[in-house]
Chains A and B, each alone.
Chain A
Amino acid sequence: MDKWPSSNRYSLKAALMINYNPVIPSLCLPFLDLLIEIMSIKEKWLSAWCIKPVGGALVRQEPEYILLALMGSPLKKIMLCSSEKEIFNVEEQVMVQHSVIINNMIEDGSYNHEESKIPLDCVDSKTLKKVIDYCTHHTHHQNDNQEDLEAWDAQFLNVDSNGLYDLLMAANYLEIRNLLDLIYGTIKNMIKGKKIDEIRRIFNIKDHGFTSEEEEQNRKEYPHFY
Chain B
Amino acid sequence: MSAAEPSSYPPIDPVNFDLIIVGTGLPESVIAAAAAAVGKTVLHLDPNSFYGSYFASLSLDDFTSFLNSHSVPASAATATTTLGNQHDDSNHVVIELIQQSLYSDVEVVSCPSEKENLLRENSRKFNLDLGGPRTLFCADKSVDLLLKSGACQYIEFKGIDASFVYEANRKFVNVPDSRAAIFNDKSLTPIEKRRLMEFFKLIQQHSAASSDNYNNRDADDGVDGCNISEEDLESRFVFFMEKMRLPPKIKSILTYAIAMADYDQENNEFCEDLLKTKDGIERLALYSSSVNRIPNAPGALLYPIYGEGELPQAFCRRAAVKGCIYVLRMPVIALLMDKVTGHYKGIKVASGQDLYSDQLILDPSFTIPSPVPSSPRDYSMERIHILSQKEVKRMVARGICVTGSSIKKDVPTCLVVYPPRSLYPEQHTSVRALQIGSNLAVCPPVLYYTFVRFVKMLMKERSYYKLP
Q: Do A and B come from one complex?
A: no
